[in-house]
Amino acid sequence: MNIVLIGNGIQANLGALYLHNRFGDQLNITRIGPSDRGGLPVVGESIIEITTHFMEEHLGLATYFRDNHLPKYALTYYFKIDPDNPEDRTYSVHCNERAPDDLREVPDWKGPMNQPPSWLLNREVFDRDLHRMVDDQPAILRVYGMVRDVEIRPGGKHLLSVEGEDGLNQTVEADWVIDLTGRKQLLGRKLDLVVKPEGQRDCFWFRLKGFDRSLLKQVNALGPMPAGPGEEYHYERYYSTHHFMGRGFWIWIIPMKDADGSDMMSIGFTSHPDHFDGNVKNIDDFLRYTDQSHRVVSDLVRSGTTDDTNMLKKYHYVVKQVYSADRCAIVGDAAYAPDPLFSNGLAFGTIQWDQIGEMLMQDLEGRLEPQFVQSLSEAMMGPVIATQTAITNWYPSMHDPFLSAIRLNWIEIAYFYVFLPLVVNGCHFKPDRLKLFKLLQNTSESHPFDISPDLIEARNSLGELRPEHFVYMGKEKVNRRAMEMLPDIRGIYEQGAEGGRIRNEYSRQILEKVKEVTLG
């Protein structure tokens, strides 16, 4: 069976390695794309457990990550108590904490905790090395050029018109075509599948070198602190993805390792045009807005030197479907451009490779049915739409530390007790478990990642915020069973029910505290 991957970015190379490792000589894999990606910007330096699980289990990259990249122990969020006071550095700080025995061990790891749950990637380094890994596999055919057109034929035997970098044109035949062209969206545009939803995003980002990392700690941090050395819960907070929230925007800070081993950071400013009254298009704009909101961030940036800058305006899109019974698929940035708030862009792509692997296996065995292809397509877009809806709903109150803390904890409980166990246990592609993935569908009656109206009403009754108003969650919201491989679906339901109880208890504590304040 001939499989053609159109593209030469991270998802194309991940997919080529995955399909080669899983199917061997059952598939003839061809990757078509430019030899040099040019000046196109990369995103996705921070990965989550779903991505890590795929890359370590299917591609064997744990040792590679240990040797070339930084560990990531948490997502850390900074909610400013007085968002309109530039001089104030008081933050309600929230993160997902873990116990050392809650994580899989990486042999010979020398870092501050020997079991990192995920990684902070230097994408240029990772993309380069991933490209080399594919090139080292002689069974993967590489064609350097651009696919100018695709003739999709029902049932397969598609024809691709390729313009080679050597100036020669050729036609390539494929049983399956997988579009990995990123924002060019070759198949999405050709088949009129691209949708630009309401709730657009703008993003400006850059990399920073030679900075003073101690400046990141120059805040009055409220909430649970990481435990000291030797205590049960301990990690260095620097090794996390940092998020600073503002009026209609948020800022990411991602530590990483430069190619020479020195400290480096990816820093970005993501905003919602309907809720952010401004335009960040260069470093001066970035510093002007951070001086007004998060001086700790502007101090950090001024302590170093900026490397490169990138910008995307109103970039958010999705496609109507990602798989077709005609044996074609749209994967990764070619299918969706999600808000990076929860670092799940690459994770969605790895979910798709599991699904594509299942479809190819069934096709090789002559039992792939159109209805199953459609079910997988719907299952894939369920969590994409649900998470993006929840984030879109967050932007109007992103500057409100109380509501932001509630939204964060609500979403993370859903992730650790529902989303992560479902993916680890193959509910996104196994036919007998696929119905469980509908728990992540975003419907008019159910928003699995969005908070309940009574919590919004409670915030409205609270008035001016004080530090004692917050309810903190750390290790309580991290499901220690989330990475377990379970023999049947009962264990998955049990974890979801446990997450529901934790969410209900958290909501009860918030409502009780608000009641005490308003009546007291």
Paired sense of beta strands 2-6 and 176-179, if any: parallel
Q: Is the dihedral of CA 45, 49, 52, 58 positive or negative?
A: negative
| Number of neighbouring beta carbons within 10 Å of residue 124 | 17
SS3 content of the chain, % helix, strand, coil (to 5): 40, 20, 40
74-115+199-312 folds as: D-Amino Acid Oxidase; Chain A, domain 2 (3.30.9)
For 214, which DSSP code? Answer: G
Q: Output the pLDDT for position 36.
A: 82
**Residue 237 CB burial class (10 angstroms; 0-12, 13-18, ≥19):** middle
- 3-state secondary structure at position 346: helix
| Token pair recorded at residue 339 | 């808000």
Domain spanning 1-39+123-197+317-368, CATH architecture: 3-Layer(bba) Sandwich (3.50)
Q: Output the pLDDT for position 363.
A: 97
The structure tokens 């302590």 sit at: 303
Task: Decide: pTM greater than 0.75.
Answer: yes
**Average pLDDT of adjacent 10-residue blocks, the chain of 520 residues:** 96 97 97 81 87 94 91 92 93 79 57 71 94 94 95 91 94 97 95 92 96 94 68 72 97 95 96 95 97 97 94 94 97 94 93 98 97 95 89 94 94 93 95 87 65 89 87 85 90 93 94 85
Residues facing residue 120 across a β-bridge: 46, 70
Rounded to the nearest 5 degrees, what angle is found at the Cα of 124, between the Cα atoms of 118 and 126? 45
Domain spans, the chain: 1-39+123-197+317-368, 74-115+199-312, 397-520
Q: Evaluate whether 1-39+123-197+317-368 and 74-115+199-312 have a shared fold.
A: no
In what helix (H) or strand (E) does residue 509 lie, and over which residues does it extend? Answer: helix 490-519
Q: Output the pLDDT for position 128.
A: 93
Paired sense of beta strands 305-312 and 202-209, if any: antiparallel
- Whole-angstrom CA distances from 232 to 226, 323, 341, 345, 490 are 10, 46, 29, 32, 31
Q: Report d(CA 196, CA 128) in Å as an integer.
A: 31
Q: Output the pLDDT for position 112.
A: 47
CA neighbor of 11 nearest in space, from 36, 38, 39, 33: 33
Q: Output the pLDDT for position 386.
A: 87
Paired sense of beta strands 90-95 and 75-80, if any: antiparallel
DSSP string of 357-394, one letter each residue: HHHHHHHHTT---HHHHHHHHHHHHHHHHHHHHHHHHH
